[in-house]
Structure 1
Amino acid sequence: MITVGVDLAAADERSGLAVVTWSAGRAVVSSLSVGVTDASIVAAVRGSDKAGIDSPLGWPSAFVSFVTTHQSGSVTPPSSGDGAAWRRRLAYRMTDEVVRSTTGLIPMSVSADRIGHAAFRAAGLLALLSPSGAPLSRAGDDVVVEVYPAASLFCWGLTHRGYKRAGLASDLVSALLESAPWLSLGPFETLCRRSHDALDAVVAALAARAAAIGQASRPSPAQLAAATTEGWIALPTGPLADLIRQTRVEDRS
């Protein structure tokens, strides 16, 4: 199995791309780079079994409706005392609220924070990856799944706050390798220790593996309609060791 992780930014130079090759009892980072183009990302995703993209894949349904009605000048203002809750529904997707309740982490708002610039790029990538015109699932059913590295690290019991500050990524790499001795960063270990964009790409590829083998959260039937349009953040549901224990037939080749 091959999984890809993309730490997506609006600009190429801040975007990381990792390719991880899985075999029986072993996972090897076979490629890792920072400063990647859309063409490089699309090529890597097409050559993978599952790709985790660290970017929102959609916008809150309430926000989409708000923008549409605002354009025509027919916005219905919130009732007295409901303004904060009304704005929250515009700012956060259902999956963001699920992540908040599960991990305590608050994802950036795709409609009110700068991460929206990365989401514009992600929308373009999804279009490039579906040339037939049939849209890719934003709920993670196709090759692409939305991931959130910090939340994945939380689920695996690793440092998930502050590691992007200068010098701290190296400490997280050491902890990751201790927790996952079956993971080989090879010649890319130095890059991971130096660049949190590269490290997040590797974590995204590990989270993609969790989604691929059924070890990540899925939307419930009641959540599926929203996840299909807004996107769904796949959270690992088991320990890191499960990524290698759940050996698939293709891993044995």
Structure 2
Amino acid sequence: MLTLGIDLGAQANETYGCAIDWSGGACRVAALHPKLDDERLVKLVTDDAFAAIGVDVPFGWPVAFVELLTARGSAQSWSVDAARLRLRDTDRHCKRLTGKDPLSVSSDRIAAPAMRWRLLATRVASASARLHEVYPGSALAVWSLEHKAYKNADQRDARIRILSALRAKLSLCVVDADAECLATCADALDALVASLIARAVALGRVHPIPPDLEAAAACEGWIQIPTCNVAELRC
């Protein structure tokens, strides 16, 4: 099995991919894909070789926010609770399960990558059944790994600790050049974690969508959160 993780940024230089090969009971970083522009991203995501693909970007916007925009300034539309405009049901669900707060796609900087992803939607439609929204920070929290302070340039040591823990728990094989990239670049590390979450999805080891949230999830997107510990991804 091959899985793919994408850490999607607003621009190519912020977008990384990570393919993991699970064949023969192994766990090996098969390739890192740095600085993915739209053409390379579409080609990679639509490759049938990948059983599951985790993409770190919101797949939709809060229903209340969309309704507000399409109401064209109706006075009634402004009476909605502001929290419903900021957060999706999956964001609140993620908070309950993991303690992590996903960024608001309607009011935070994640909006730009989300718009890029939506503009690519028709071009990656052939892979839609294999595409899954993920949030690396929530998975790291579930796996009891560092998840609060590893993104900044001066937090390289935290990224090294995360990578070392994953290598130990999964017997993850990473060549030296890729290990250096993962230690240097938080986007690359998030792509690796996204690929691990894709593996959890492929194994059916993620939280199901509660029945009462299925309608919202179809419109807003749904963050896949593992139910297993990280070592069980090799099973």
Alignment TM-score, normalising by the size of structure 1: 0.86
RMSD of aligned Cα (Å): 1.5
SS at match of 2:3: strand
What's 2:59 paired with? 57
Pick from 171, 188, 199: which aligns with 1:198?
Answer: 188
In the TM superposition, residue 176 of structure 1 has moved relative to its aligned partner by: 1.8
SS at match of 1:241: helix
What's 2:122 paired with? 127
- Aligned pair count? 228
What's 2:131 paired with? 144
The 10-residue stretch of structure 1 (95-104 or 157-166) with the greater mean CA deviation from structure 2: 157-166
What's 2:159 paired with? 169
Contact 1:66/1:75, CA 8 A, preserved across alignment: no
What's 1:31 paired with? 31
Q: Which residue type is aligned with residue 34 of structure 1?
A: P
In the TM superposition, residue 74 of structure 1 has moved relative to its aligned partner by: 1.0
Alignment partners' CA distance in 2, 1:75 and 1:240? 49
Contact 2:143/2:230, CA 8 A, preserved across alignment: yes
Query: Is residue 113 of structure 2 the alignment partner of residue 112 of structure 1?
Result: no
Contact 2:2/2:23, CA 8 A, preserved across alignment: no
Query: Is residue 179 of structure 2 the alignment partner of residue 185 of structure 1?
Result: no
Cα deviation digits, residues 153-176 of structure 1 (max 9, x gap)? 111111111011322212221122
What's 1:239 paired with? 229
Contact 1:45/1:143, CA 8 A, preserved across alignment: no
Q: Which residue type is aligned with residue 33 of structure 1?
A: H
Query: Is residue 220 of structure 2 the alignment partner of residue 224 of structure 1?
Result: no
In the TM superposition, residue 107 of structure 1 has moved relative to its aligned partner by: 0.5
In the TM superposition, residue 75 of structure 1 has moved relative to its aligned partner by: 3.0
Contact 1:2/1:21, CA 8 A, preserved across alignment: yes
SS at match of 2:161: helix
Largest Rg, 1 or 2: 1
In the TM superposition, residue 114 of structure 1 has moved relative to its aligned partner by: 1.1
Contact 1:173/1:193, CA 8 A, preserved across alignment: yes
Matches within 5 A, 1:199-214: 199-214=189-204
In the TM superposition, residue 124 of structure 1 has moved relative to its aligned partner by: 2.1
In the TM superposition, residue 34 of structure 1 has moved relative to its aligned partner by: 2.2
Pick from 43, 51, 68: which aligns with 1:66?
Answer: 68
Alignment partners' CA distance in 1, 2:211 and 2:4? 27
**Structure 2 unaligned spans of 5+:** none
Alignment partners' CA distance in 2, 1:55 and 1:149? 10
Q: Which residue type is aligned with residue 59 of structure 2?
A: L
In the TM superposition, residue 32 of structure 1 has moved relative to its aligned partner by: 0.3
Contact 1:61/1:230, CA 8 A, preserved across alignment: yes
In the TM superposition, residue 237 of structure 1 has moved relative to its aligned partner by: 0.4
More helix by share: 2
SS at match of 1:192: helix
**Off by >3 Å, runs of 4+ in structure 1:** none
Q: Which residue type is aligned with residue 177 of structure 1?
A: R
Alignment partners' CA distance in 2, 1:176 and 1:241? 8
What's 1:5 paired with? 5
